[in-house]
Each structure stands twice: as C-alpha cells, then as structure tokens.
Copies of this chain bind each other. A is one copy, B any other.
Amino acid sequence: MYLIKNVRLYTGRASYERGAVITDGGRIIYAGDEASMTAPPILGGVSVIDGGGGICMPGLCDAHCHAPMVLLRGEGADLPLFDWLSCVQEMEENFTPETIYTGTMLAIMELLRGGVTSFADMYFECADMIRAVIDSGIRANITRGSTSVEGVRSHIDLHREFDGADGRVRVYVGLHGEYTSDENVARAAAETARELGVGVHVHMSESRGEVEGCIERHGVTPPAYFERIGLLDVPVIAAHCVHLTDADIDILVRHGVYAAHNPASNMYLASGIAPVAKMRARGVNVAIGTDGAASNNTLDMFREMRLAALLSKVSTMNASSIAAADVIKMATETGARAMGFDECGVLEAGRPADLCILDGGALHLHGADIASDIVYAACGADVRLTMVNGRVLYRDGEYTTIDAELMRALASSARKSLRK
C-alpha cells in the first residue's frame, strides 16, 4: 500500500494543485485532493511517497514501438529513407534471442525512466521480448512483425503461452504491413486474430511510396485493402496513418481503428505529417507511439506528446487545433485501450495503479496549468518515479526489478555484435 502525497495531480479526469493517490494491491483506491482524503483503512504498512510538489499523472502508453531497436540508435542518421533502411536491416540480421532480450530490457529501462507504463511492440523473437516484459514488471502488448503465413500462425503458440501473464501481457497478431506480405498473409492475420479473439498490430500508410504501391498492387489504398480483407473487423492498432484520404479516414472511423501517431519518426524519416486534427475531428481514436529508437532516437513519450501537439498546430496553421488535455488523453487512455488494457490510462479508484511522478524541482514544470506543463514543458528525464500495477519499478535512478549495470554491459556488447 502506497500513499503518494504532495503532488500536483493530473488524473485524466480532473487536476488538483495539491493531490494524493493511495494504492493497494496493484489498484488505486484514492486519487484526488489531498485535503479531502479520508484516512485509508490501514491493514498493512503504508509506504509514504512524498512527491515534493512534482506532477503525478497516469503512466504513458506507447502505442507503437520496436523495443530492441534501442541497440540501433543513431545508425544511418540523416540518410535518405532507403539508405537508412538498408543500414538498419543489415544489422537486424545479426540479432539473436539473447540480444533481443537485452535490447528489450534496455528499452524497458528507458521507457520506465521516462514514465511509460505500457507499450505495444512489433518485432521478432517475441518469446524473448515477453520474458523481458515479465521480468521487468512493465505492461506490454507484443506482436511479431509477420511477413509470412507461418509468422502469422506463430502467434497462436505465443498467445497460448503468454497472453494474460501476470495480467500484464497481451499477445495480439502482428502483420508487418501491406507492402511486405501478400494477400494470403493478411487474410491469415485476420483469421488468426479472430480465432484468438484478439486484435491486430500493423503498419499502415506510413509513406507515400507505400500508398502508391498498394494502389498499383490492389487498386485501393491500404485502409481500403485491409477493410476488404477483413483485417479491420478485429481491434486494430494501425501505426503511422500519415497518408490518408478522406475515404480512408471514414474507414478508420467505421471500424474503430486505433491510429498510432509517431510524429518524431515521421519527421526523422521525412515520411510526412499525419492528419491528426482531421482524424480526431472525424472521430478516429488517435494514440501516440515512439516507433523504434533507430528513427526517433529516444523512447521519450513526453517529447512525443509535445511534438504531436506542435506539429498539429503548425501543420493546420491553427494554434487551437489540439489542446494539451487532448494530447495527454491520446498518450494515456487511448493508447491503453488500443493495446487492450482498457482499465489503464486514468487515475481513479478501482483502476490499475500505473502512474509516474515528475521532478518537483524542475524549473520548467511550474507553469500556469498542469496539462500544459506536461505536454509543452516536461520531458522523460524529468520523471522521478514510475509505478506499474502498484509496484514501484523506477525511482530516482534506480530500478527495483532490473540489474541495470548488468544490462548496460550486455547492451554494450550486443551493440558491437550487431555491427560486425
């Protein structure tokens, strides 16, 4: 049982200049004004966390990541897309189950250090990734970036073994994208997801070339193609959604697709600017993701929120095109629902205790309004404490479930092994 006090509290429903949160057994039992808190029924010992006047808020939900790519950070920086891709893909061939575990764990350290409590990932060697998720205590939705029917079907064993583990792991079906698989693979992904009763995670309409190629191959845009195949009849995380027609947006709305917006990556690779304001106005569920660290080059969801807001404003030439509270919702509640963690993303009694606390001493975090401090001023390095499912996993530079020193050493060797 934790009592978090002396925080500027942002719950996702309300904010309090002096708030408090009480957790018990992985759940929140109180989130609100500190002064109106009634004494909790103290059954066991209570650990008091003094937030030092820092912001306490829901943990961030990274809706699209490729965790092990932290080992490829900075590779091919500033190269045109295809040169960057071949640089990165060449190194990806050297990954082993061990380096995948190490890379995932290193990414989880960075995510926790930046206040992220759950992430949706697509990569390969998923069993090793999930072991890192389980060992670390974070929450995640893991899929393989399948490009073959066998790859798609491999989710069945993965789902049987891991879905629901510790209440923190979800296994969806991953399909890399339209342009990296034929129609049989996409149909298999839709069928497998239906069989398992889960959703799909897929790259969609990231680059202009992808959309043009899809029209050549199938006569329609990626959303229309996936709709035709039935892939959108299950819950979907569609990463990127940069190049969309109005008809595409209608398709996303019709199927309740979760668009995972990745502004840093879309800018870094010059993919384009996703029509976030338009999608939101039409009713698309827009979440936010970091993409892999090779095209970001961090896993900092605070910087991603800021970028999402700033990019929306300048691309629409409208400073009111999106508000700070909307952006926080995208990066918390909407992201959580996209991953199938429907209870997460809001700090309310009864919900899982996934939260983070920012540095009360940070000069830039004492602005006029908590929401605008979070979106426009905070960054991942401001996080002091991250809690998942009621467990403190990161606090003031220390990890409670991860041998950070060992992981840093392993990561350093892993990076070398990928470069040879």
Interface string of A390-420 (1 = CB under 8 A from B): 0000000100000000001001100100000
CB atoms of B377 and A74 under 8 A apart: yes
Copy total for this chain: 2
CA distance A272 to B314 in the complex (A): 6
List residues of A (266-302) whose CB comes within 8 Å of B's CBs: 266-273, 293, 296-300
A128 at the B interface (CB under 8 A)? no
Rounded to whole Å, the gap between the CB of A72 and the closest CB of chain B is 8
A319 at the B interface (CB under 8 A)? yes
A261 at the B interface (CB under 8 A)? no
Closest residue on chain B to residue A84 by CB atoms: B319
Residues of B within 8 A of A373 (CB): 73-74, 297
Residues of B within 8 A of A273 (CB): 314
The stretch from A15-23, A130-138, A180-188, A356-364 touching chain B is A356-364
Query: With A106-B363, A110-B363 given, is the CB distance from A377 to B297 under 8 Å?
Result: yes
Residues of B within 8 A of A318 (CB): 80, 270
CB atoms of A267 and B313 under 8 A apart: yes
Residues of B within 8 A of A109 (CB): 363
CA distance A379 to B299 in the complex (A): 12
Closest residue on chain B to residue A397 by CB atoms: B361
Residues of B within 8 A of A397 (CB): 361
From the candidates B313, B319, B324, B381, name the one contacting A379 in the complex (CB within 8 A).
B381
CB atoms of A320 and B73 under 8 A apart: no
CA distance A70 to B72 in the complex (A): 37
CA distance A408 to B360 in the complex (A): 12
Residues of B within 8 A of A81 (CB): 319
CA distance A182 to B362 in the complex (A): 41
CB atoms of B321 and A77 under 8 A apart: no
Residues of B within 8 A of A78 (CB): 319-320, 322-324, 372
Which of A106, A310, A318 has the most chain B CB atoms inside 10 A of its CB? A310
From the candidates B84, B268, B366, name the one contacting A376 in the complex (CB within 8 A).
B268
Residues of B within 8 A of A314 (CB): 266-267, 270-273, 311
CA distance A18 to B311 in the complex (A): 37
CB atoms of B272 and A317 under 8 A apart: yes
CB atoms of A324 and B77 under 8 A apart: yes
CA distance A14 to B233 in the complex (A): 55
Residues of B within 8 A of A75 (CB): 367-368
Residues of B within 8 A of A361 (CB): 397
Rounded to whole Å, the gap between the CB of A115 and the closest CB of chain B is 13
Residues of B within 8 A of A156 (CB): none
CB atoms of B80 and A368 under 8 A apart: no
CB atoms of B363 and A77 under 8 A apart: no
CB atoms of B376 and A362 under 8 A apart: no
CB atoms of A267 and B379 under 8 A apart: no
List residues of A (52-82) whose CB comes within 8 Å of B's CBs: 70, 72-75, 77-81
CB atoms of B298 and A376 under 8 A apart: yes
Rounded to whole Å, the gap between the CB of A116 and the closest CB of chain B is 13
CA distance A113 to B415 in the complex (A): 31
> B-contacting residues of A (Cβ < 8 Å)?
70, 72-75, 77-81, 84, 106, 109-110, 113, 264, 266-273, 293, 296-300, 303, 306-307, 310-311, 313-314, 316-324, 361-364, 366-369, 371-373, 376-377, 379-382, 397, 408, 411-412, 415
Please, could you name 30 A-B residue pairs with CB atoms under 8 Å apart, sorted by A? A72-B368, A73-B366, A73-B377, A74-B367, A74-B369, A77-B369, A77-B376, A78-B319, A78-B322, A78-B323, A78-B324, A79-B319, A80-B318, A80-B320, A113-B363, A264-B310, A266-B314, A267-B310, A268-B319, A269-B319, A270-B317, A270-B318, A270-B321, A273-B314, A300-B379, A303-B306, A366-B415, A379-B380, A379-B381, A381-B381
